[in-house]
A and B are shown apart, each in its own frame.
Chain A
Amino acid sequence: MKRSWYASPYALWMVLFTAVPLLFVCYYAFTDASGAFTVGNFTKIAQPMYLLVLWDSVRLAFLCTVLCLLIGYPTAYFLSGRDLNHAQSLVVLILVPMWMNFLLRTYAMMTLFEDNGVINSLLEAVGLPRLHMIGTEGAVLTGMVYNFLPFMVLPIYTVLKKMDYSIIEAAEDLGCSPLRVVTRVVLPMSVPGVVSGVTMVFMPAVTTFAISRLLSSGMIYLVGDMIEDYFISMNNRNVGSSISLVMLVLIILSIGLLRKVDPDNSGGGLW
């Protein structure tokens, strides 16, 4: 049996659940309700209202990625330290939230952020004024960062952990102060991990829908929510498909851009 045949179950799966649906999406995107060819779906979503939703999604995903990077990189750097005992158990600790379904986690965040939620009860108990959090962009962003942070930490951690310690000693030997070791060697050499982490956070973040809906009480409306509405509440799969297609193209473009930063894809990225 040829080796490639071992992949046939997966190939069948791909055809049934990726290739064929993608063709359907393309078909619906370029037809109207009666099935006639049209580009009307695209001109419709070129309107400012739709573009604003798209802009909001990209903006929030971008902010989420930056926050994840700012929190995740130092964490990964700390975890990869060679003097650190129990690094492995700390890594597991970062993974633990991922063992729970993200919807459950998001519902849990709702109970934290609600006007009568856990945080406000605590604030009241210590005599501080209540905060209105649910429904704000901050709450949505917190939820997104919370959900996607492990995807940033892990690839960076892997790259840093693999780095030979003698590389760092070589940098010190050649005249790098401890700060310069980080800026001249550690950061540039971990670019593949950063690229991988950024991709893994930005992609799901830009199409997120449940997190924004739940934590903003419907106040913040993102592309993911819009696609869901077109397919389910409005039963208009044509416009829904065209938005999906636009998102797909955007995502492919951003992968292409990131590839330029890390041409060998040496971070072992999933995308």
Chain B
Amino acid sequence: MIQDTRLIEIKNVCKRFGETEVLHDVNLYIRKCEFVTLLGPSGCGKTTLLRILGGFEMPTSGEVLFEGKDVTAIPPYKRRINTVFQKYALFNHLNVYDNIAFGLKLKTPEQMGCKSKKEQKEEIHRRVMRMLKLVKMEGYEKRSTNALSGGQQQRIAIARALVNEPEVLLLDEPLGALDLKLRKEMQLELKTMQQQLGITFIYVTHDQEEALTMSDTIAVMNGGRIQQIGDPKGIYDEPKNAFVADFIGESNILDGVMLEDELVKFHGTEFQCVDEGFAPDEPVDVVIRPEDIMIVGADVGMLTGTVESVIFKGVHYEMMVNTGAQRWKVHSTTMQPVGSQVGMTIVPYNIHIMRKQKEA
């Protein structure tokens, strides 16, 4: 279970590469046993932030605390953190067993709580075998790493990191190269491992579904800034700004004006909503999820439009409905033929109002 103690604190971290600012004043804390995902598009700074945690990069300013102690300048080999790299980075001069045992063999017998070299060797063997079992790769210990598939290499990379029993495991888009089915399997396995072992995972991905599936906490990043931190449901249901809404799931985003509390005007129409606390006539972003738009008869809808296209997506149909001023993305389990007139209704609870984001 997640504990309340803050294991890692990132304080005012900035990172520049030459003229480019990759991270801008990032603040984040990570609790013990938490599964935290850094989520964002390419170039948002998520990997740089992970590399700072691993000790591979120094922040330009700011500090990283580990159990309250400043570790900003501590090199990677002295941190109780291990990493699973994007391209696995296995040692191809060693077989599977020696890859996993690599970190343990660097330790002295005393560091592993053993009295002799021999005892340490036995302990290493026990732990490597336990890891092989955990990642379901028993019987592969003598294999060359070159002879493994992508998914198998990934399992070995995970075992190689976990065998050292780190406080924190960093994962840099570890499932990026796997096919969809294998990826889904591995997501569940990783989550199970994390809960079994009680290790803090910090996971980097650009895949919002992956983030929602696995995380306790998601930090959505864009342009070197953290946009929103929260649990998956909170981030999905209550995105803080238009970027988060758009990145997490699909959205219709419109310009609107907040007329008064619980009343917003967009698309030339006034709508009831549930948001309060905006200035009178404050310009806002209005976000509506495609699955929150209900298709009704053309004569009873709040809005009416023409169906422009229909795509079958498996569970639902995705339709584009043109209302003249706006093209709406609508998800529905019933199909409307292209060219037909439909009405659309949105309940107040599903209209999300967001303050306009000041361009950085």
Contacts and interface: CB of A to CB of B under 8 A. Distances in A.
Interface stretch (B7-15, B82-90, B199-207): B82-90
Contacts of A189: 91-93
A177 interface: yes
A167 interface: yes
B158 to A, nearest CB: 12
A175 B83 contact: no
Interface string B56-87: 10000000000000000001110001110111
Contact of A174 (B55, B56, B160): B160
Nearest to A189: B93
Residue of B91, B107, B161 most packed against chain A (CB within 10 A): B91
Interface string A159-174: 0000010110111111
B106 interface: yes
Contact of B82 (A164, A174, A180, A184): A174
Given A174-B103, A174-B106, A166 B86 contact: yes
Contacts of A184: 102, 106
A135 B348 CA distance: 99
A125 B76 CA distance: 54
B102 A174 contact: yes
Interface residues of B, number: 25
Name B's interface SS.
loop
Nearest to A172: B76
A167 B77 contact: no
A245 interface: no
Contacts of A70: none
A173 B82 contact: yes
Nearest to A174: B103
A212 B89 CA distance: 46
B77 A170 contact: no
B54 interface: yes
B120 interface: no
Given A188-B93, A189-B91, A175 B77 contact: yes
A257 B93 CA distance: 19
A180 B75 CA distance: 14
B164 interface: yes
21 contacts: A164-B89, A166-B85, A169-B56, A169-B85, A169-B89, A170-B83, A170-B90, A171-B91, A172-B56, A173-B76, A173-B81, A173-B161, A174-B102, A174-B161, A174-B164, A175-B77, A175-B103, A175-B107, A176-B77, A176-B106, A184-B106
